[in-house]
Amino acid sequence: MQNLQDYRASRDLFLPLTPEDAALRYHGGTGGGPLDFILVTGDAYVDHPSFGAALLGRLLEDAGYSMGIIPQPDWRSAEDFRILGAPRLAFLVSAGNVDSMVANYTVSGKPRRQDAYSPGGIGGRRPDRATLVYCTRIREAWKNVDIVIGGIEASLRRLAHYDFWSDKLRRSMLLDSKADLLVYGMAERAILEIAERLDRGIRAGQIRDVRGTVWKTQGEVTETDGLKMTDLPDWDLLRDPRGGKHAYAESFREQQRNTDAINGRMLTERYGPTTVVQNPPALPLETEELDRLHELPFTRTFHPDYLPHGGVPAIEEVRFSLVNNRGCFGACTFCALTYHQGRRMQARSRESLLREARLLTKLPGFKGYIHDVGGPTANFLNPSCDRQLRSGVCRDRQCIGFSPCRELRVDHREYLDTLRALRALPGVKKVFVRSGLRFDYLLMDRDETFLRELCEHHISGRLKVAPEHIATHTLEVMGKPPARVFRQFQERYASINNSLGPAFARQQLVPYFISSHPGTTLADAVELAEYFRSSRVTPEQVQDFYPTPGTLATCMYYTGLDPRPHRGKRDSAMAPVHVARTAREKGWQRALLQFRDPRNAEKVREALLAAGRQDLIGWGPACLVGPAEKGRPERHRHRDRRRDRPRNS
């Protein structure tokens, strides 16, 4: 890191945060007119392409617009929203890289004390429902200014949605925020088109023809430019206590079916006299466009104003990492990625990644290690089949999930070539892959070269994968592969590591698991606990299901229905699913996953009795927990301290 004096002097390399910064950057320090755009964000300002505010700010500046950023303003008054004046074109508002409610609360509703996207990692710097609050304060400060909202929070709430924190449906965020326009998904194409129209004098509320946007009207909506239109259930129907949940499941199914830029339709949702209209998604960026975007002149660090606080922790995960792709054709129902980024893969070129890697080797603090080369799913690089390029992704079928499509194209060669080129660069000692990898996709590759080189060169002693569960029905609901596939991968992984020698044989496989996911019964949770017992492992990575907007699993959580047509048959949709709603059942499922923890013993016994599995309470080798012993504290009877595994398994 540069010394403090030099670093403070470098603030002119960042986008402006103050009027003085703006005057120096755009007017030679002599004042000047208003900024074209002011971007308000719930994150601290980190000038790195992994941070949305920096990415869009640099993109707009590169297109010739002047930019200012108001990061983490004090929302208790309108003063911070006046600091840069009123923009010439619009305020751009985002809650930040993380949904504000997820950033502020755990799944159990407890406030988080830490926030990696805030100075010093201290929580509480962004309000609940930050997008709504920021828009309210902007309206207080500037009555007639245009407001365009976007980012993950607005994108996932672009239409009527279930809100876990209030346990009710909420309207489109476009309406509740009183913004003029909403941008969803990856916003680069949309924001440049919006900027061009604003610059021509068109108000944001009058922009109706930009892909990747949501707008509102009190007039009639008709199909235009050959685009087909689908009417979603209206707000009154969604709130109907008799059929509202079924209507919401139907609505979300249609939203899921229209996330592709090629075959996606316009969607309309009525709220009394007002209609909210979602235009089809923006077209994906081509490789050259994605390359150029990531090679804009980022400083790749946090703003010097945060030095007294020790910086912004979130930069540490990405400072020496490379983003290789975006999008995902996985079918995980608990993930909002396909709703936000779409299923069509977009990837950067090897040459661009090499240029960025050479830049990393010259940064202060680089010690020879590239921490990651990946994206949402590291080993998804190209479209899953050729048909996608012609007619878009299938509307009622998934590429990969419990049963992969026969048209799925499996190829790791391009990714492997990139990793080989990166690890051959002067100054690079090691290139790691820490982004998620689909182990089922790895197994489908008949050529083991990539998996072998992954084990040999790109793992830092542990490979994290996400089987999520073991029970067949639960995995089907989750959109994950059958348990046998995970077991096959475990065997393949161990075999390759053993063949590489004793040093590699110690490399671990760390699986992630989810408790209380919709579709998971108490019997399923017991089955997973029995798997842990029999496989002699104690899970490290366990999390409770968190119902966040934009996921199919959250729709299931709210409605108790699976809206997907199974095996492509539309009349098979709306199957009921079990949902663990009470704190008691959720606690039971979580305790079963960690049954070896003595603190969970009583809950494990309760869960086994409720599931009718008294046979698992006792001292035998198949038991999960011993009987209650009055007057004696719980202790870990089954733990072999030397091997960290149950003695009798």
pLDDT tier for residue 28 given thresholds of 50, 70 and 90: confident
Assigned token pair, 176: 């509740």
Q: How many other C-beta atoms lie within 10 A of the C-beta of residue 435?
A: 18
pLDDT tier for residue 570 given thresholds of 50, 70 and 90: low
The pLDDT, as a whole number, for residue 392 is 92
The pLDDT, as a whole number, for residue 569 is 57
Residue length of the chain: 649
The pLDDT, as a whole number, for residue 572 is 65
**pLDDT of 644 strictly over 60:** no
**pLDDT of 602 strictly over 70:** yes
The pLDDT, as a whole number, for residue 219 is 87
**pLDDT of 640 strictly over 90:** no
Average pLDDT taken over every residue of the chain: 92
Q: What is the pTM of this model?
A: 0.93
The pLDDT, as a whole number, for residue 224 is 76
Tell me the pLDDT tens digit for each residue of 398-409. Answer: 999 899 999 999
Assigned token pair, 422: 């990166």
Amino acid at 161: H
Nearest C-alpha neighbor of 557 from the set 514, 600, 603, 618: 514
Tell me the pLDDT tens digit for each residue of 228-255. Answer: 899 999 999 999 999 999 999 999 999 9
Structural domains present in the chain:
4-209 (3.40.50.2300), 467-613 (3.30.750.200)
- The secondary structure of 109-141, three-state, reads CCECCECCCCHHHECCCCCCCHHHHHHHHHHHH
Alpha-carbon Rg for the chain in angstroms: 26
Share of the chain above pLDDT 90, in %: 87
Segment 38-54 shows an average pLDDT of: 97
β partners of residue 229: 266
**Euclidean distance between CA atoms 79 and 77, whole angstroms:** 6
Assess contact for 522 and 483: CB atoms under 8 A: no
pLDDT tier for residue 565 given thresholds of 50, 70 and 90: confident
Assess contact for 90 and 138: CB atoms under 8 A: no
pLDDT tier for residue 643 given thresholds of 50, 70 and 90: very low
pLDDT tier for residue 645 given thresholds of 50, 70 and 90: very low
The pLDDT, as a whole number, for residue 518 is 97
Opening angle at CA 620, ends 636 and 610, nearest 5: 80
Assess contact for 156 and 336: CB atoms under 8 A: yes
Map residue 292 onto helix, strand or coil: helix
